[in-house]
Amino acid sequence: MIPTPIHPKLDPANPFVGHQSRNQIRESFVRWILRIGTLIIVSVTAAIILHIAAKGAPVALSREWPFVNVAFLTELPSTLHVIQDHQGHIIETDVNGADAIKMQLGANLREEKTISYSGGGILGPIVGTAMLVIVSVGVALLLGVASAIYLSEYASHGKFIEMVRLAILNLAGVPSVVFGLFGLGAFVLTAPVFTNTPLDRAIFTIPLGFTTLSFQGWDTCVLSGGFTLAFVILPVIITASEQCLQAVPLEFRETSMALGATRWQTIWRAVLPFATPGILTSSILGIARAAGETAPIMFTAALAFKDKLPWQKDLVALPADASWFAHWEQSIQRFLAIFTESVQALPYHIYTLAARIPQNEYSERAQYGSVFVFLILVASLAATSIWMRRRLRAKYKW
């Protein structure tokens, strides 16, 4: 007997022809909802990037060799002077050039505008962000990997460890401005320094004979900002590192221990090498995060404006016959100044340009140029992380 077709009007010879069932309609409906959601995200991302590229690329790049705006990348920020004459010529210059041009124009000067922070380049913020990232990622990797190893390899499973994990996860949810205030209190105002002349504001001092350990804080500097940022990215690094350690097969540990290795030897030789690709990747994501944060460095490291690079600290000029030791001491001081001076940073510079000064075409130009460079930096970090992970994965696959 031929079974009765579900839709009698359709070709009875082919039982598989039919209208879409309700399930099929629902299926394609869900698929389209999900597809549209994804498309919205992709198009918003594309719009952001295109917008920034369209406005920022003309500032940061140039049409002629070497195809980048060298001055924009190698000069420190300065106040931009825009001078207009009665014929409508517009001259952009810095504070030094302004006087000469005004003198030359004489009565022809129509108006002079000054726009803060929008002249020169952004070398200061780039260097500052790089220093902050180096310090914060260094500190966060040391602390983060250590605690991830402890949590993953040593700690026994129990209530306490669960609480610790929960606390770390919660740390990830703390608003970054809170970290900024924490950094202000902990590192800027309280952290210990060795000094012969403790400040009055020191919370307490420990005399050590040859010097004094004074809890007077590190001041606003790269070190304070770097440590604060380290705590911002610690949860990311701990969680990711722990996952990478857990991903190393248990058999490696068992084999290693069965061959007479201690627990630390096992971790060092049979676990960490294979977890490193993932840990590095996560740390690079941490770099992108640290580079992008504004709030934690506002009170701890960043200045809106600084006309010196960290190592261009004012030092007493040495006499011509100074000993090599004095020179050596000064270069050490210069090197340390990298960590003990406050800096400009890209996100804070962008914030200053976009929100703290009157807006006009010149400030907008500087702002988009900075954002574009920032975006390129972060994108290249992400690309590096992917490349590194691929290389290490190929080397250590199991």
Partner 1 sequence: MSDNPTANHDAHFIQVEKFNYAYGDHQVLFDVDLDLHREDITALIGPSGCGKSTLLRSINRINDLVEIARVVSGSIKIDGVNLYSPEVDVISLRRNVGMVFQKYNPFPRSIFENAVYGLRVAGIKDKWELEEAAERSLRIAALWDEVKDRLHTNATSLSGGQQQRLCIARAVALKPRILLMDEPCAALDPIATARIEDLIAQLRGQFTFVIVTHNMEQAKRIADKTAFIYKGKVIECADTMEIFGNPKNKLTESYITGRLT
Binding residues for partner 1, rule: CB under 8 A, are 156-157, 249, 251-262, 265, 269-270, 274, 395-398
Cβ(240)–Cβ(140) below 8 Å: no
- CB nearer to partner 1: give 115 or 392: 392
Write out the two tokens for 12: 């009875």
What minimum distance in Å lies between the beta carbon of 241 and partner 1?
A: 19
- CB nearer to partner 1: give 268 or 339: 268
| Cβ-based neighbour number of residue 146 at 10 Å | 12
- CB nearer to partner 1: give 56 or 278: 278
- CB nearer to partner 1: give 156 or 197: 156
What minimum distance in Å lies between the beta carbon of 282 and partner 1?
A: 20
What minimum distance in Å lies between the beta carbon of 337 and partner 1?
A: 42
What minimum distance in Å lies between the beta carbon of 273 and partner 1?
A: 8
Write out the two tokens for 254: 């068992």
What minimum distance in Å lies between the beta carbon of 285 and partner 1?
A: 24
Q: Please, which residues have CB within 8 angstroms of residue 115's CB and are 6 or more apart in sequence?
A: 79, 80, 82, 357, 358, 360, 362, 363
DSSP state at residue 306:
-
Residue 194: in which H helix or E strand, if any? Answer: strand 193-195
First CA to last CA distance, the chain? 58
What minimum distance in Å lies between the beta carbon of 391 and partner 1?
A: 14
* Residue closest to 277 by CA, chosen among 244, 246, 303, 243: 244
Beta bridge partners of 90: 84
What minimum distance in Å lies between the beta carbon of 156 and partner 1?
A: 6
What minimum distance in Å lies between the beta carbon of 397 and partner 1?
A: 6
- CB nearer to partner 1: give 208 or 250: 250
- CB nearer to partner 1: give 244 or 337: 244
DSSP state at residue 78:
E
DSSP string, 89-121: -EEEE-HHHHHHHHHHHGGGEEEEEEEEEEEE-
Q: Which amino acid is at 233?
A: I
- CB nearer to partner 1: give 208 or 394: 394
What minimum distance in Å lies between the beta carbon of 267 and partner 1?
A: 12
- CB nearer to partner 1: give 162 or 251: 251
90: phi then psi, degrees, rounded to nearest 5: -115, 125
Residue 310: in which H helix or E strand, if any? Answer: none
What minimum distance in Å lies between the beta carbon of 262 and partner 1?
A: 6
C-alpha span between 183 and 186 (Å, rounded): 5
- CB nearer to partner 1: give 8 or 158: 158
C-alpha span between 365 and 350 (Å, rounded): 11
* Residue closest to 227 by CA, chosen among 197, 198, 189: 189
DSSP string, 236-279: HHHHHHHHHHHHS-HHHHHHHHHTT--HHHHIIIIIHHHHHHHH
The helix/strand/coil state of 122 is coil
Q: How many helices (H) and strands (E) does the chain have?
A: 14, 6
- CB nearer to partner 1: give 95 or 259: 259
